Amino acid sequence: MKKQIILGVLYVLLFTSCSGDESIVLINVDGASNEVTVNPSTQINLKEKAKFKIGAAVKVADLQGDVNYSNAVRTHYSQITAEYEMKMANIWSSSTSYNWTSSDYLVNYAKNNNMEVHGHTLIWYNSFPDWFKNAKYDSIVFESKVKIYITDVVGRYKGKIKSWDVVNEVFADGGALREEGIIKTVFKDPIGFYGRCFQYARAADPDAKLFYNDYSVVLDSGKRAAMKNMVKKFKAKGYPIDGLGDQFHYGNDTNKQTIISGFLDLASTGLLLHISELDIKVNVNKSDSYVFTDAETQKQAATYKYIVEMYEALPVNQKFAITTWGVTDKYTWLTGWWHPKEYPLLLDNNYNKKPAYQGFLNGLK
Ligand code: XIL
């Protein structure tokens, strides 16, 4: 049996079925050769196949405002993360008040749809509220206030938010402690402060898995060494840490071997690993004339596939989740922040599965 379906202007999909198996061959309508091998079950969704959580960064406005978005989240994902609504600047509205509206909404949404929540993020240099920064607290008052914040936030969602990025992006490129933000000016020993933040989170919810999260970890050996060193210090001091996240905002041109060897090095910590903000840029040169060609979509699919295969090769007790930073190309944060012509995610603007989705799916065991 053969069917032909035209998807947009780019592809003709030939579905073939022989001896019960199905395969899809993607053929560029201009005749260029191009092939994707597809799993026998073309209908299966990521969350159904994966043995670990498949997460998505989401925004309340999109969940409420676009029913297709919400349906896509429910169909493909088993975990959500707030793209920004659980950051400190959003929750800690003043010295005497919290704004729980969005975080409560997301936690209830996850519960109603049988998904888990990964909390992002308790401490991030980029998200201290202005009122807090302007107060110019000394280290003692600073830490006592942060301790109350962590206790209140983690405590409010005890048992409901199963994991937290306790601290995000402490290290600059190369591994030195980041200069931006206020922590380096307030604390003589920032790492000690971060370690105590993990303790405060553990005390507020002993069952929540606690992560340190950063970007370019598998590419930047200096940053990775600094992270491993921090983990060692935490262990020596008894500060609790369960896992490490590498954001994985990478490009289609990133060297595969570098990613894989960096990831293996990270795995040597024995901690849970989280691919925490995965998106794969295709317009790596930020070109206004960029065209997302068939060849580029295939390359992106192959990139997703090897990243997922690499993750699957971890010991089972180190697998936690792979989270994509967004749901559809339509709302990716990279459009605007990176370039208006960007297509980094698994679903296209119309919520159709891209070859990238199939690449991810094929990478799963
Ligand atoms: C980004 C969000 O995607 C944006 O919507 C927000 O305005 C800025 O932050 N590393 C992180 C994430 O840890 O929190 C960032 O998220 C992307 C980079």
pLDDT in tens, 275-315: 999 999 999 999 999 999 999 999 999 999 999 999 999 99
Query: 84 pLDDT exceeds 70?
Result: yes
Identify whether residues 62 and 32 lie together within a single domain.
no
Identify whether residues 319 and 279 lie together within a single domain.
yes
Residue 333 Cβ inside 6 Å of ligand 1? The answer reads: yes
Task: Please state the rounded mean pLDDT for residues 340-355.
Answer: 98
Identify whether residues 156 and 34 lie together within a single domain.
no
Residue 216 Cβ inside 6 Å of ligand 1? The answer reads: no
Identify whether residues 2 and 53 lie together within a single domain.
no
**For ligand 1, atom 6, which residue shows the shortest CA distance?**
84
Active site residue 277: yes
With beta carbons less than 8 A apart as the criterion, state whether 246 and 266 touch. Answer: yes
Active site residue 83: no
pLDDT in tens, 92-110: 999 999 999 999 999 999 9
Which of 62, 81, 83, 169 should be mutated for ligand 1, with most atoms under 8 A from CB? 83
Q: How would residue 43 be classed by pLDDT, with cut points 50, 70 and 90?
A: confident
Window from 65-69, 123-127, 180-184, 271-275 with minimum mean pLDDT: 180-184
pLDDT in tens, 7-25: 333 333 333 333 333 333 3
List the domain range (segments joined by +) for residue 26. 1-42
Residue 247 Cβ inside 6 Å of ligand 1? The answer reads: yes
**What pTM did the predictor assign?**
0.89
Identify whether residues 102 and 21 lie together within a single domain.
no
Residue 168 Cβ inside 6 Å of ligand 1? The answer reads: yes
Identify whether residues 188 and 331 lie together within a single domain.
yes
Q: How would residue 42 be classed by pLDDT, with cut points 50, 70 and 90?
A: low
Ligand 1 atom having least distance to the Cα of 169:
13
d(CA 134, CA 51): 46
Identify whether residues 262 and 344 lie together within a single domain.
yes
d(CA 89, CA 131): 9
Q: Active site residue: 169, 180, 312, 342, which one? A: 169
Task: Please state the rounded mean pLDDT for residues 233-249.
Answer: 98
Ligand 1 atom having least distance to the Cα of 124:
13
Cα–ligand 1 centroid distance for 300 (angstroms)? 22
**For ligand 1, atom 13, which residue shows the shortest CA distance?**
168
Which of 274, 333, 342 should be mutated for ligand 1, with most atoms under 8 A from CB? 333
Residue 332 Cβ inside 6 Å of ligand 1? The answer reads: no
Query: 142 pLDDT exceeds 50?
Result: yes
Identify whether residues 25 and 135 lie together within a single domain.
no
Identify whether residues 184 and 63 lie together within a single domain.
yes
Task: Please state the rounded mean pLDDT for residues 39-65.
Answer: 89
Higher pLDDT, 87 or 184: 87
pLDDT in tens, 166-189: 999 999 999 999 998 899 999 999
Identify whether residues 12 and 58 lie together within a single domain.
no
Cα–ligand 1 centroid distance for 84 (angstroms)? 6
d(CA 188, CA 236): 19
Identify whether residues 173 and 241 lie together within a single domain.
yes
**For ligand 1, atom 12, which residue shows the shortest CA distance?**
83
Percent of residues, the chain, with pLDDT higher than 90: 87
| Mean pLDDT across the chain | 90
What pLDDT shows up at residue 61? 98
Query: 274 pLDDT exceeds 80?
Result: yes
Identify whether residues 184 and 230 lie together within a single domain.
yes
CATH number at residue 188: 3.20.20.80
What pLDDT shows up at residue 183? 93
Cα–ligand 1 centroid distance for 365 (angstroms)? 30
Cα–ligand 1 centroid distance for 34 (angstroms)? 34
What pLDDT shows up at residue 11? 32
Cα–ligand 1 centroid distance for 15 (angstroms)? 39
Into how many domains does the chain fold? 2
Instruction: Print the SS3 string covering the chain.
Output: CEEEEEECCCEEEEEEEECCEEEEEEEECCCCCCCCCCCCCCCCCHHHHCCCEEEEEECHHHHHHCHHHHHHHHHHCCEEEECCCCCHHHHCCECCECCCHHHHHHHHHHHHCCCEEEEEEEEEHHHCCHHHHHHCCCHHHHHHHHHHHHHHHHHHCCCCCCEEEEEECCECCCCCECCCCCHHHHCCCHHHHHHHHHHHHHHHCCCCEEEEEECCCCCCHHHHHHHHHHHHHHHHHCCCCCEEEECCEEECCCCHHHHHHHHHHHHCCCCEEEEEEEEEECCCCCCCCCCCCHHHHHHHHHHHHHHHHHHHCCCHHHEEEEEECCCEHHHCCHHHHCCCCCCCCCECCCCCECHHHHHHHHHCC
Window from 20-24, 65-69, 134-138, 263-267 with minimum mean pLDDT: 20-24
Beta bridge partners of 278: 324
What pLDDT shows up at residue 344? 98
Q: How would residue 154 be classed by pLDDT, with cut points 50, 70 and 90?
A: very high
Cα–ligand 1 centroid distance for 155 (angstroms)? 24
